[in-house]
Structure 1
Amino acid sequence: MKKGWRLPDYTLAQETGPPHKREFTMSCRVENFVESGSGTSKKIAKRIAAEKLIAKLQSLPPNFPEVVKRSSCTWDLLKNSSGEHILSLKRNPLSASSTDYVKILADLADEQNFIVNYLEIDEQNVNGQFQCLAELSTNPVTVCHGSGISPVSAHNEAAHNALQYLKIMASKK
């Protein structure tokens, strides 16, 4: 928190063993740093993951906050950008069903200097579909939901929704 980074995000990575002797593996993410920990409860696994991540962060050089790639992608910059991918997004509809929206979003992120992370949601939705969130390191941070019959299709829908949102925000006057 002293460095101005986001709060840690914890995700259940794995759950193994019989019901009476479960083993949980949790991942802990802060910015682009990830560590995992395992234990007989989610709480223990979270604590181990967090302790490992704290140790990793404490081993960073003192000037590290200055060298962290921070996103400079703001709505004003998106609106005024003349990059190929943002101009294509503004001009073209996002309606083709077999389009690889994950790739389009990745290309746009490279061009506009932001990072995209996909976070899996452990529970399936009421229709039994996989779910995920696409987190964009824009300023402010953008998060969009996606669901689909597979994790890949959930990522593609989340990327599609993120692109639709970016298109709206980049076109606003």
Structure 2
Amino acid sequence: MACLERTMAVQDGKTPIQMLQEYGALSGTSPVFEMLRTEGPAHLPHFIFSVKIGDVTCSGQGSSKKAAKHNASEAALNILKGEAGVSFQVPKVEGSDSPKEQTNHSNIIGTLQEMAIQKGWRPPVYSATVEVGPAGTWQYSVTCRMETFEEIGNGRSKKEAKKLAAEKMVSKLKSLPECFDISGAKFKWENLKNSAAEKISLLKRTPLSLPNANYEQMLSELAQEQGFEVLYLDIDELTVNGQYQCLAELSTVPVVLCHGTGISQGNAREDAAHNVLQYLKIKAFK
């Protein structure tokens, strides 16, 4: 966070918006503001803005667009301050956690991470937002996602909210039957070759070069039959040839990712699905 330290060192007379923009210029991650909605009567509107910089997303409210962006920027700076461990003059949001709270926080986060490793699941993913109320109140919200499950924790600090989200996730996972596998309970790679189910049998005998074939639908039906999920990740950046890009991810262990390109986003998805089907066909004959 050296960029943040350099930005905060020259903060005198600057607004939070300017400070956040300078940090973005130094770190190469420019802040992106978006007006979420407007509340209140037409003669007395209340604006709500969000700002995203890197993996930090915050929101702010105000009686003007500038005030809302100002509050959202303050929230983002406070999060970045907490991550960098530096000092700068914006309203203090995160209270200092007691040693006992820090220990519990580390333990529950580590416990959830260990559960993922032991079961062969993908590690938990956390995302944080912060709400800034009109009276200057602050509320952190952290979402913990693990495979198909999602839990949300709220607190006065990001650490507290993350700890609560992790606690909820651990509690949920412990309540599941011992035989339950959240990473794809029905799917086993070793069963693919010997499966005589309709869709996998169709894949084995069907050439993947038929004109006007709907590969996305074919993959969806196969996934439902074999017990895994397909997630399509559209890539904003075009290829050097100006084509759209997409990744198809299977909820298997290990995870399977296949890339696709096309003249449209839909074509890119079809290509990614086609490549997944080719991979599965090879695995089915191995």
One of 58, 62, 66 as aligned partner of 2:171: 62
Which residue in the other structure is 1:128 paired with? 242
Contact 1:101 1:160 in 2 (8 A): yes
C-alpha distance after superposition, 1:91-110 (max 9, x if no partner): 11010131110100000000
The 3 A distance-change label for structure 1 pair 42 and 160 is same
Matched residue SS, 1:85:
helix
Which blocks of at least 5 consecutive residues in structure 1 are unaligned? 1-19, 25-37
Q: Against the structure 1 CA distance between its residues 167 and 50, is the aligned structure 2 distance closer, same or farther, given a 3 Å change threshold? A: same
- Tell me what 1:53 maps to: 143
Q: How many residues align?
A: 142
Q: Is 2:209 aligned against 1:95?
A: yes
What residue number does 2:280 align with?
166
8 Å CA contact retained: 2:183, 2:252? no
Pair 96,42 (structure 1): closer, same or farther in 2 beyond 3 Å: same
Question: Over the residues paired in the alignment, what is the CA RMSD in angstroms?
Answer: 2.9
C-alpha change, 1:92 and 1:21, in structure 2 (3 Å) is closer
The structure showing larger relative contact order (alpha-carbon pairs under 8 Å, at least 6 residues apart) is 1
- Kindly state the Cα deviation for residue 75 of structure 1 after the two structures are TM-superposed: 2.3
Q: Report 1:80-159 matches (<5 A).
A: 80-159=194-273
Task: Indicate if the aligned counterparts of 2:31 and 2:51 stay in contact, CA closer than 8 A.
Answer: no
- Is 1:41–2:155 an aligned residue pair? no
Q: Which has the larger radius of gyration?
A: 2
What is the CA-CA distance between 1:85 and the residue it aligns to?
Answer: 0.3
> C-alpha displacement at 1:40, in angstroms?
4.3
Q: Which runs of 4 or more aligned residues in structure 1 lie more than 6 Å from their structure 2 counterparts after TM superposition?
A: 46-49
Task: Give the C-alpha shift of residue 60 in structure 1.
Answer: 4.6
Structure 2's unaligned 5+ residue stretches are: 1-29, 35-49, 59-75, 80-125, 129-141, 145-150, 153-164
Cα separation, partners in 2 of 1:61 and 1:125, compared to 1, 3 Å? same
